[in-house]
Amino acid sequence: GASKKFQTVFEIHHARYQHFTHHLDKQIQDVVLKRLKDYGGTQQRLSQLLDEEQQRELEQELEEERQLERPSPAIPCEPILHEEIKRLCDMHSDIMNLNQYPNVFRPLPYAFTDTTFFNDIQSEHWHTNLWISTEFQRVIKTKGESLNPFLRPPRWILVYRNQHLIFVSALEANWLLGRLNFLYHERQFNSPSMTTLRPLVPRIKRIQSIFVNTPALTIPPLLGHANDAVPFLIPLEWLVQLFIFNGTLYFETVDEQTVYCQCLSLCPKPRMKEEEEAFEKGWIAVDGFVSNAKHRHHLKMYKVRFLNNLLPCVKQIIENRSNLHAPILSHTGSIILNSLKRI
């Protein structure tokens, strides 16, 4: 390697700056060198610039930096409004079999296509009446890229004939909103509509509405009907899967927390005496996951959907949706990170 020689601090850095000028601001360099010259003193120390191996590595890195090209910008897809989306508003025809239109409707896990979540999302365990439109998933044209940064926020959901929940794109939601409003004002429904467009937002604060079951905010509204007319509210067993999908951080009720945990096959702290005994036996993992079907039955976990541990995936979904780590003081963050229920 290069021989060592006695140099002042100023001389050492001046020599090194000469090798790194390709990415340094000249003004900053001059200011730093002036300060070193003024205050660095005259004391010398043994130093060498770089040995031969370091020099070769540096040259290779510099060459790679020069050749590195920025990726081309993503090209957005041209939005499409399929006729089958329009047919969802037809109140007098037979209910559509969504499985017959795979170019328009797909099961909800399809939303994670070409993301790092897709292989771990346990597609077969989601409720079969949860759907997305293909337009909801279709965001950019670029092929071969991970679509993690391009996951569409799930903000609009169509309740179809009170049987299916379909996440739709903004364009589709805009058309459905206008059409459903028109039908509502034209026909003056005597009973709550069985097909409604609803907003859905993740609960990222303790006291916050998620809107989806608010009768006044559905389109058409579920208010103003006969007193015996009962509006359709999305069942809790479906709702907790929407919480997983949209990265919800907080629960409104203990029931939401309980069903959420059971859905994921979790038995977090604090635990009942029988549950603590099960933990001591190794039936319950440190993160709260219960993997054995017999153990789940013994612990009265009757609403389990995901038979494999989905916690790592849930954590990543929250981080993707909110661009931050799950706060440990949030309800879901505490369950994921500490296996601890907070309400």
Q: Phi-psi category of 211—alpha, beta or left, where left has phi over 0 and alpha has psi -120 to 50? A: left
From CA 67, how far away is CA 85, in angstroms rounded? Answer: 47
Residues 6+ apart with CB under 8 A from 101: 84
Question: Residue 75: inside a domain, yes or no?
Answer: no
The pTM score is 0.78
| Domain region containing 290 | 240-338
Q: Do 195 and 249 belong to one domain?
A: no
Cβ–Cβ under 8 Å, residues 310 and 302? no
Q: Do 94 and 174 belong to one domain?
A: yes
Q: Do 60 and 103 belong to one domain?
A: no
Question: Residue 157: inside a domain, yes or no?
Answer: yes
- Ordered per-residue pLDDT tens for the chain, 343 residues: 456 676 777 777 777 777 665 555 677 778 787 887 777 777 776 566 555 565 566 666 666 665 555 667 788 899 999 999 999 999 889 999 999 999 999 999 999 999 999 999 999 999 999 999 999 999 988 777 788 989 999 999 999 999 999 999 999 999 999 999 999 888 756 678 899 999 999 999 999 999 999 999 999 998 766 555 678 999 999 999 999 999 999 999 999 999 999 999 999 999 999 999 999 999 999 999 999 999 999 999 999 999 999 999 999 999 999 988 999 999 999 999 999 999 9
Overall number of domains in the chain: 3
Cβ–Cβ under 8 Å, residues 117 and 313? yes
From CA 310, how far away is CA 325, in angstroms rounded? Answer: 16
